[in-house]
Each structure stands twice: as C-alpha cells, then as structure tokens.
Chain A
Amino acid sequence: MIDTVKNAEATPDQEQPYKELGLKDDEYARIREILGRRPTDAELAMYSVMWSEHCSYKSSKVHLKYFGETTTDEMRSKMLAGIGENAGVVDVGDGWAVTFKVESHNHPSYVEPYQGAATGVGGIVRDILAMGARPLAVMDPLRFGAPDAADTKRVLPGIVAGVGGYGNCLGLPNIGGEVVFDESYQGNPLVNALCVGAMRVEDLHLAHASGTGNKVILYGARTGLDGIGGVSVLASETFDDGAGKRKKLPSVQVGDPFTEKVLIECSLELFEKGLVIGIQDLGGAGLSCATSELASAGDGGMHVYLDRVPLRATGMTPAEILSSESQERMCAVVEPGNVEAFLEVCRKWDVIATEIGEVTDGDRLVITYHDEVVVDVPPRTVAHEGPVYHRPIERPADQDELQANTPDSLERPDDLLELIKIMAASPNLASKKWVTQQYDRYVRGNTVLAQPSDGGMIRIDEETHRGVALSTDCNGRYTKLDPYEGAKLALAEAYRNVAATGATPVAVTNCLNFGSPEDPGVMWQFEQAVKGLADGCAELGIPVTGGNVSFYNQTGTTAILPTPVVGVLGVIDDVRRRIPTGIGAEAGETLLLLGETKAEFGGSEWAHHVHGHLGGLPPKADLGREKLLGQILVAGSRDGMVSAAHDLSEGGLAQALVETCLIGETGARVFLEGDLFTALFSESAGRVLVAVPRTEEQRFTDMCTARALPWRKVGVVDPESNALEIQGLGELSLDELREAWEGTLPALFD
C-alpha cells in the first residue's frame, strides 16, 4: 500500500526507518515539525537524500561562506553566475560565456570503478548542459593508492576505462587532469571530473520554475531501480509483499553515454529554439532534487504527477521513483504553448519526453501518485533549508610533530644524474600516457593543447580564435603538512599552469576532498584549506565560481591526505599564440628559469619517493609573485617572445627539463649555479622554465628585470644533441630518459 499524506496524518505513530536513511533524531524531529505530521515514505526519502552531506553541504556550509565574504565586487565583475547554480559562469569576451565545474565521484568509483567513473563524467557534463552551454571538454583529476598494490590494479584500469568509455562515446575531448598515487587513497580513490562549456552570454539558462501554468517536462532515459542507495531500505521494509520480489540492483548507477550524447544535442536544439524557461539536470537525488530545486528557485509552487514518469522497472514505489539516480535525464520548465514544439524536437532525437507536472500558484511542492497525494512540502525546506552543522574543529595533536620532522637530515645521493632518472621513473612523475592515450583528445577539432601540456586549451570561436585554458592541481602532501598553505599552493600551481599556456587566469573552481567531518582534525584541515584558497583568490583577484565538497574519504579511521583540487580557467584572445610545453619549436632557443629557488623539500616528491618521508613545512606560496609571473608569460605569448614554457612543480627543475626535452623531442645543455641538488630537486613555488628565441632574449629579460621578476639563464636548446646535458654532472640521452619516463605505467598496468 502506498503511504499517502492522508495515511501519514492518520498514523502519526508509525515507526519510520529514518536512521537507516541517514537522518539523525533531531533531523527527523525537524521534518515532523516542518510538516506538522510525520513524513510519508516518499517525503522521508526526499528529505533524507536532500539533507545528506552530499546534497546539503551541512558540515561545510558555514565554512564555504568565507568564499563569498572574501570575493570583492571587482572580482565578481566578470561572473554571470556563481556558487549555488549548477555551475559558475564567466564572461570571457566577444559575447561568449564559459561555464565550468569539478565534481567528485569517489565512493561509487571504489565500489564499481568503471561505472562509478563513467557516471561521474556523465553527471558533470549534464551540470554544464543545464546552464544552457554546449559542453566542450572534460578533464579528470584521479588519485589512487600505492601503484603496486593489488587493489590499485583493479581500481585504476577500471576507472580509466570508465572515464574513457563514457567521454569518448559522448564525443568530448579529454584535455588534462591528474594521476597521483599515495597510500592514503588505497581504500578510497578520488575520481574528480571537470567539464567546461560555452554559450553566447544571452543564452544563459538558470534552474528555476517560474510562471503559473508552465509545464514541467522530464526527458531523457527512463527511470529505473539503479542508483537507489538508502531508499532501498524503505522499499524492502515497507513494500516487499513477497509476491513480486524484485532483484536489488547495485546502488552505483549504470551509464549510457549514447543516450547522453543524444540528450546533449536534443537539449541544445531546444535551447536554440527558445523552448526552455528553466532547466535542471537529474543527478544525485534524482527527481527529489530536480523538482525541489526548480520549485524552490522559482516564484511559485509545483504539482508533479509521479505516475506519469516513464519507468524501466515494474512496481516501483513513489519513494523509489523520486530517489532513483538513473542517469541521462533532464527536467525542463516549458510554456504551455511550446510543449508541442518541445516534444517534436525530442521525437526527432528519439528522446522520451513526458509532461510530468506544472508550475502552480502558492508555495507548495505537491506530488501525487494515481490521484493520491504522497508529497506535500514547502520546497525550500527540502532544497535549501537543510540542517547546518558547526562541527567541532581541532588542530591535530600530532601536527606540530609532523611539521618538526623536517627532511633536512635525509640522505642526499652523490649521483644526481642517476637521481634524475629515478625521479623521472617514479610513478607520480612518470609519463601518464598509458592513461591519457585511452582518452580521445581530438574530437570536435578544437583542442589546441592537451596532456601532457601544463594546461588544456580549447578554441571556442573559429572566427575570432578566442579560447580558454584549464588546469587542475593539488599536492595532498603539502596540504597535509599545512592545509592553509597547501591550498594556496594548489591554487598557485593551477594558476601558473594556465599562465604557462599564454592564457590569462580569470576564475576558480574546486573539489574539496577530505576525510570525515565528524573528526575535528579533518574539520580543521577543511577550515584551513578553505581559508587558504579564499585568501589566495583574493590576492590573485580572481573569484571562486563554484565547487563541490566530498567528505568521508577515509579507510576506517584513517583519512586521505586532505585534497582540495583547484581548477583554474584562463582566457586567451587568440589560441594561435598558445605557448607549447616542449622545446625545439624554433631554431636557437635560450632556456631561462623565472622565479627563485630555495632549499624547500618538505612534502617533496624526492622525500616521498626516495625516503618515504612526509614531514616539515611545504614550500612557501607567494601569490603576488605568481601574478607577476602570469603577467610576464601572457605578455611573452602575446608578443611572440616565448617559444615554450613549462611550470616547475613536483620533482623541481630536473623533472621540468626532462619533460620539456621529451615532449619537444629535442635536447638541451644546462648550466646551473650553487648547490646542484637544490637547484635540480627543490620544489619552490612560483617558477617557470621558458624557452625564448635567441632574437627575443634581450627584450624578454629586459621586461623581467624592469618588472622585478628574478630570472636566470640556465641553458640552451640543442637540436643536434638528442641528450640532456647538465654541466658538471654529465649527460642523459633522450632515449634513456624516455625509457625511464614512459616505462613505469605500462610495466605496472599492462
């Protein structure tokens, strides 16, 4: 029997499995108070999923406010939509708006690597589509446990195949991302997915349901039993009549990229014809989320006829229909006069579309199932007025000890040439070609830069050559040692990577992956990281336009390294002026190192890989310097003074040299001063290796000197040599370097 509002009123004392659905006693009591009665099963399903940490941000909300407080009007000037929308939107000039966002799909990807990763891509792409934009490209920052662990061999190939399988079939180029290994991710890999899209400024669509009488249309895939997490508790306890016992489906959803591709093209045609007033994708929490968010953001109420939802399983209960996370579905608000035209476009694309409700007067979200009311709630209480927690915060007791355990006493090897090879072959620094060659980077023909470049770059206008560049970064070891500084360093690196392509950084998104918010030490890391990131953005003068929080990333009581992945978006007027990562594009280039090198080894890749050491303090971030560096690189690109640029990060100058030579398939002769170990392996921030044509050397270095950016000539490109020679140490042939750099991942995963 279906639990209706009438029934709920008649049976106030009926016990409900709210605890199994993840609601606390006081949260359940609050729902009863809001409704003035006990919730129906369907209402309980909606509240429990919408008030979950994932949907309600209940532990992070009080901290995330800091982003808003630190964003000035000046920083906001280019922002067309920000935090709270499906994705942030930035005005990039020439009438173009660009939207981008990163989201996590960590836990499903551990349970079922292929589908978890695939649906992570699918979800973020629909978020971008729901802004009215054509999705242009994806990137995937991934983190795994120890590279040689047995479970990594299960998880990594599955996740990579899932990202590729979905993205390739969807027809979106994959232009970058990260692959990082650390034991802390062993039982909890991180799968973050970024999507970027573009639209004309006037075509921006926001998720809201306005105008009484307007119709609500659900279109895309049918709704099934896949991806029903906690709600299956309701199903099994309340509705299992024994006769029609159904097979339980896995709570990880199953993706269908073909349906998503068709959904994208169909949606873009609907937008183009002006048939859509408001739109929302169906992701986490399915229809519960879409209907309550649309209604709550609009100016009226909404009536939804749940029995009209096309199903792919029999006997689904209202609670299951509302909570199903079946993929590839969208919900649109359409004027009554446009419904037929809307359905006509859907028919062309063979997309199922069903009018499931309408916008009403008043302020209630009413959901009926075969004429009986199963949900009658104020939508804001579901979507926006969930619980807010001020979780206890405490700096971990062992933080001082961690910071006191510096890498100063670690033994440094005599053979630095050998160390260059050892580091190039270390799993974190090794070439990620084994992963990225499973991703299509060419489709749609606008990819200007992709992995292994510092940042990905996409052309958005073939006439004007305007484009955008993107990079995502985070070093969890730095954040572990100092979450505030570590978050700034993640921002600094992503900013620098974008600038190194010749683009001007304009906006920031993030995906904050942390352990349990119920651990005061984790909440301290989170609070510090948010502050570091927000303060850093204020220093750089670019806004955070959106983001995502993923808590409970831990194995038992051991949390992952705090991992605030930062994505930076940059704009370039003319993609033909992009700066490549590899040297050798011009005959006769000089190598210059921009920035300053100090002996900074805390959290370094060398300490990690060679000594298994994590302690001390991370490098110091200097965002003023990063900004200056960015301006110099952009000027260098604009005036044709820079022929290659590569950011220095993990592995220091040594790794940057190896990569720039191998990517450019060209040798170099390098001369360094001072302590060679520090010069080669320090991870000081704010540094970029650039190649400048000899004819531009004077002009470029004069500009650096005039603007007080430290620079030093460190070598020359040598197209004849096929080797990396370091004066005082000797030379390494490009062949042996390539074998070291490219051999590691195939040896581990083939």
Chain B
Amino acid sequence: MRVGVITFPGTLDDVDAQRAVRYADGEPVPLWHGDHDLKGVDAVIVPGGFSYGDYLRCGAIARFAPVMQEVIEAANKGMPVLGICNGFQILAEAHLLPGALTRNHKLHFVCRDQWLSVENNTTAWTTRYDAKAEILIPLKSGEGGYQADEDTLKELEDDNRVVFRYVGENPNGSRNNIAGITNARGNVVGLMPHPEHAIDALTGPTDDGLGMFLSLLDTVVKA
C-alpha cells in the first residue's frame, strides 16, 4: 500500500501521518504542493497544519495548489482521500466535501483528548471500527466548528454521511456535533480530530486512531 502524504509550506502533521501509514504497514510517499502527479499512490492523506500560513480563510489557498488538482481528479475517480484538520478544511474548500469549518465558538485554540463516536463504519477509512464505537483521539484546532446549511445537514444525516460525532460537551460549536464527514461515494473522509496522533499510547492518549489507517489497508487490498 503506497499512501501519498501532501506537504504544503506550513503543513505540520505530515511526519505524523507518514508514521501512521508505516504503523499500518503501508509505504508513505511524500507529495510536494507543487507536484503535478501523484506518483502512482493508492490513496492520499491531506494532513494538518497551517498551509501557506492560513492567514486567509483556512485551506483557501491550498485548494489551488497544483497537487490538489491531481487529488481532486483522483478523488472523483474513487481514490481514497483523507483530510485531517487543515486537510479537512482544504477538502471542504476544494468542494470534495460539503460545508465549512469556522472559528471555535469560544474563540480559543483547543487541544484536548476528545471522545468520538463512529457513526459510519462503511467508508474507505472506517471499516475496522464497530458501529457506534467510541474512540479517544486528540483534537487540536482553532477553526474546527463545522457549519453547513440546513439542506446540506439534512442530506448528510439522511445519507449516513456523518462519519464521526463529538461525544460529551461540543468542543467547538460544530453543527450536530459533527467531527467528520464523507462524500456520497464514501472514498473521501474529512475530520477535525487527529487519528494520526493516536496510534501508540506512548505518545497519544490511545491507539484508537490506528483503525483508520488499517481500514485503508483493507480498502486498498480489496480494490
């Protein structure tokens, strides 16, 4: 399994995403923001950080990067794509996923260990989880409040496209406690919390996040 991990200037959690791919016995392939091809990878992770500084709306510049044009094309053909934190913001800006991520309702950056419930275990990235499983992984973001119009929210709920929901106190004001969503096809997933920071209880709160990368392994092997 070869998994591309994109680095934009200002990307921070790329080393972590690469480590998570290795923990799942995959081969991480670094992709540079200026690349015009995906080097034959089986899947792509758009990791966390502050692409190009994110002084404009988060992800608003990154969606125009050359490598993102390749990602959009591949995603539309069914390639598994995961956006974590800033990556989720970028996928939303690129319209691979609906809605937008806004400033946390309390206006502070929040870093904490967050309980999530797995709402959809049929996507390319979540098959290893039991339905309604509760997992504990780090959340660390300043603009993680998920917003969408009523029609979009209804569509997401009706089509079972909410993949993760926050359990307990809503940490950032997300509508419907949404922590992560998927596209209609189930190959593209975006979430604000960081599964790549929960792959080993030594350096994270748990290893609950590893399931996402192992799920991908299953998806790629099957394909």
Answer whether residue B19 sits at the interface, using C-beta atoms and an 8 A cutoff. yes
Q: Which residues of A contact B9 (CB under 8 A)?
A: 258, 261-262, 349-350
Stretch at the interface among A43-51, A160-168, A596-604: A160-168
Beta-carbon nearest neighbor of A168 in chain B: B109
Q: A262-B9, A262-B10 are in contact. Are A442 and B202 (CB under 8 A)?
A: no
Is B194 an interface residue when CB atoms closer than 8 A count as contact? yes
* Alpha-carbon distance between A459 and B16 when the two chains are bound, in angstroms: 14
Given contacts A171-B12, A261-B10, A445-B196, contact A165 B52 (CB under 8 A): no
Contact B111 A448 (CB under 8 A): no
Contact A444 B15 (CB under 8 A): yes
Q: Is A71 an interface residue (CB 8 A)?
A: no
A256 CB–B CB distance under 8 Å: yes
CA distance A672 to B214 in the complex (A): 51
Q: A438 touching B111 by the CB < 8 A rule?
A: yes
Once the chains bind, are B10 and A440 in contact (CB under 8 Å)?
Answer: no
Option from A161, A256, A262, A446 in Cβ contact (under 8 Å) with B203: A446
Taking CB atoms, residues of chain B closer than 8 Å to A447 are 203
Flag if A440 contacts B140 (CB, 8 Å).
yes
With an 8 A cutoff between CB atoms, is B112 at the interface?
A: yes
- Taken together as a complex, chains A and B put the C-alpha atoms of A444 and B196 apart, in Å, by 10
Q: Return the chain B residue nearest A171 by Cβ.
A: B12
Query: Given A161-B108, A256-B53, A258-B55, does the pair A443, B13 have CB atoms closer than 8 Å?
Result: yes
- A503 CB to nearest B CB, Å: 15
Contacting residue for A169 out of B50, B196, B202, B203, CB 8 A:
B50
Interface status of B24 (Cβ within 8 A of chain A): no
B104 to chain A, nearest CB (A): 10
Q: Is the C-beta of A738 less than 8 angstroms from some C-beta in chain B?
A: no
Contact B111 A439 (CB under 8 A): yes
- The contact string, 1 if C-beta is below 8 Å from chain A, for chain B 1-41, is 00000000110110110010000000000000000000000
* Complex Cα–Cα for A317 and B70 (A): 48
| A164 and B109 within 8 A (CB) | yes
Q: Could you tell me the distance in whole angstroms from the C-beta of A125 to the nearest C-beta in chain B?
A: 14
Shortest B170–chain A CB gap in Å is: 15
Chain A residues with CB under 8 A of B202: 448, 459, 575-576
Contact B15 A445 (CB under 8 A): yes
- Residue of A262, A349, A438, A444 touching B16 (CB-CB under 8 A): A444
Chain B residues, Cβ within 8 Å of A575? 202
Q: Which residues of A contact B15 (CB under 8 A)?
A: 444-445
> Which residue on chain B has the smallest CB distance to residue A349?
B9
Point out the residues of chain B lying under 8 angstroms from A259, CB to CB: 53
8 Å CB interface, B41-91 against A: 48-50, 52-55
The listed residue (B19, B106, B112) touching A445 by CB distance below 8 A is B19
CA distance A626 to B89 in the complex (A): 50
- In the bound complex, do residue B108 and residue A438 qualify as a contact, i.e. CB atoms below 8 Å apart? yes
Beta-carbon contact of A258 and B109 below 8 Å: no
A141 part of interface (Cβ distance < 8 Å)? no
Q: Is A486 an interface residue (CB 8 A)?
A: no
**Partner among A170, A262, A442 whose Cβ is within 8 Å of the Cβ of B140:** A442
A205 CB–B CB distance under 8 Å: no
Is B138 positioned at the interface, with any CB of A under 8 Å from its CB?
yes
* A441-B111, A576-B202 as given contacts; A258 in contact with B50, CB under 8 Å: yes
CB distance from B13 to the nearest CB of A (A): 6
Partner among B10, B106, B138, B204 whose Cβ is within 8 Å of the Cβ of A258: B10
Task: Flag whether A257 is at the interface (Cβ < 8 A).
Answer: yes
Q: Chain A, 649-681, contact with B by CB distance < 8 Å: what is the 0/1 string?
A: 000000000000000000000000000000000
Say whether A437 faces chain B, with CB atoms less than 8 Å apart: yes
Contacts of B138 in A (CB 8 A): 442
- Per-position contact with B for A427-461: 1 when CB-CB < 8 Å, else 0? 00000000011111111111110000000000100
- The reply to whether A448 and B203 contact each other, CB–CB distance below 8 Å, is yes
Specify the chain B residue showing the minimal Cβ separation from A262: B9
Give the residues from 137 to 162 in chain B that come closer than 8 angstroms, CB to CB, to chain A: 138, 140, 142
Contact at B109–A438, with CB atoms within 8 Å?
yes
Q: Are A442 and B194 in contact (CB under 8 A)?
A: yes
Interface size class of A (residues with CB under 8 A): 20 to 34
Cα separation A436 to B13 with both chains bound (whole Å)? 19
- Among A171, A438, A750, point to the contact of B110 (Cβ < 8 A): A438
User: Contact partner of B197 among A256, A261, A437, A442, CB < 8 A?
Assistant: A442
Which residues in window 242-270 of A have CB below 8 A to B? 256-259, 261-262
Least CB distance from A202 to B in Å reads: 23
Identity of the chain A residue whose Cβ is nearest the Cβ of B200 in the assembled complex: A445
Q: Which residue of B lies closest to A445 (CB)?
A: B16
Pair A437/B16 contact, Cβ less than 8 Å: no
Chain B hits for A171, CB < 8 A: 12-13, 49
Name, among B15, B19, B108, B112, the residue most crowded by chain A CB atoms within 10 Å (CB to CB).
B108
Contact partner of A459 (CB less than 8 A), chosen from B12, B55, B109, B203, is: B203
Given contacts A442-B138, A575-B202, A576-B202, contact A261 B109 (CB under 8 A): no
Complex Cα distance A350/B52, Å?
Answer: 11
Contacts of B53 in A (CB 8 A): 169, 256-259
A164 to B50, CA, bound (A): 13
Nearest-Cβ distance from residue A742 to partner chain B, whole angstroms = 12
Interface residues of B in 169-223 (CB under 8 A from A): 194, 196-197, 202-204
Q: In residues 342-368 of chain A, which contact B (Cβ within 8 Å)? A: 349-350
Report A-chain residues with C-beta under 8 Å of the C-beta of B12.
Answer: 169-171, 261, 443-444
* Residues on the B chain within 8 Å of A440, using CB: 109, 111, 140
Residues of A near B54 (CB, < 8 A) are 169, 258
Q: For the complex, what is the distance from the CA of A443 to the CA of B142, rounded to whole Å?
A: 14
Query: What's the least CB distance linking A578 to chain B, in Å?
Result: 8
Task: Please indicate the chain B residues that have their CB under 8 angstroms from the CB of A256 in the complex.
Answer: 53
B112 touches A437 (CB 8 A): yes
Minimum CB–CB distance from B140 to chain A (whole Å) comes to 5
Closest Cβ of chain A: how far from B195's Cβ, in Å? Answer: 12
Q: Given the complex, which residues of B lie within 8 Å of A170, measured CB to CB?
A: 12
B204 pairs with A442, CB closer than 8 A: yes
Say yes or no: B52 contacts A442, CB within 8 Å: no
Q: How many angstroms from the CA of A258 to the CA of B62 in the assembled complex?
A: 14
A443/B16 in contact, CB under 8 A? yes
B198 CB to nearest chain A CB (Å): 9
Q: How far is the CA of A436 from the CA of B202 in the complex (A)?
A: 20
B109 A165 Cβ-Cβ under 8 A = yes
- Measured in the bound complex, the distance between the Cα atoms of B106 and A443 in whole Å is 22
A446 to B16, alpha carbons, bound, how many Å? 9
Q: Which residue of B lies closest to A458 (CB)?
A: B203
- In the bound complex, residues from chain B placing their C-beta under 8 Å from that of A750 are 106
Complex CA gap A436/B111 in Å reads 8
The smallest C-beta distance from A135 to any residue of chain B, in angstroms, reads: 12
Which of chain B's residues have a CB closer than 8 A to the CB of A459? 202-203
Q: Bound state CA distance, A445 and B210, in angstroms?
A: 13
Q: Across the interface, which residues of A come within 8 angstroms of B55, CB to CB? A: 258
* Residue numbers in B under 8 Å from A438 (CB-CB): 108-111
Task: State A170–B10 Cα separation when bound (angstroms).
Answer: 8
A354 to chain B, nearest CB (A): 19
CA distance A164 to B109 in the complex (A): 8
B39 vs chain A, min Cβ distance (A): 18
Query: Is B50 touching A445 in the complex (CB atoms < 8 A)?
Result: no
CB distance from A159 to the nearest CB of B (A): 13
Residues of A contacting B197 with CB < 8 Å?
Answer: 442, 445
The CA of A390 and the CA of B140, in the complex, are separated in Å by: 50
B111, A437: Cβ atoms closer than 8 Å? yes
User: A residues within 8 A CB of B49?
Assistant: 171
Which residues of B sit under 8 angstroms from A161, Cβ to Cβ? 108-109
16 contacts between A and B (CB under 8 A): A161-B108, A168-B142, A169-B12, A169-B50, A170-B12, A257-B50, A258-B50, A349-B9, A350-B9, A437-B108, A438-B109, A442-B111, A445-B204, A447-B203, A448-B202, A462-B19
List chain B positions with a Cβ less than 8 A from chain A. Answer: 9-10, 12-13, 15-16, 19, 48-50, 52-55, 106, 108-112, 138, 140, 142, 194, 196-197, 202-204
Known: A169-B10, A437-B110, A440-B111. 4 other contacts (CB 8 A): A161-B108, A161-B109, A258-B54, A445-B197
* For the complex of A and B, 5 pairs with smallest distance between CB atoms: A258-B53, A171-B12, A445-B16, A442-B197, A169-B50
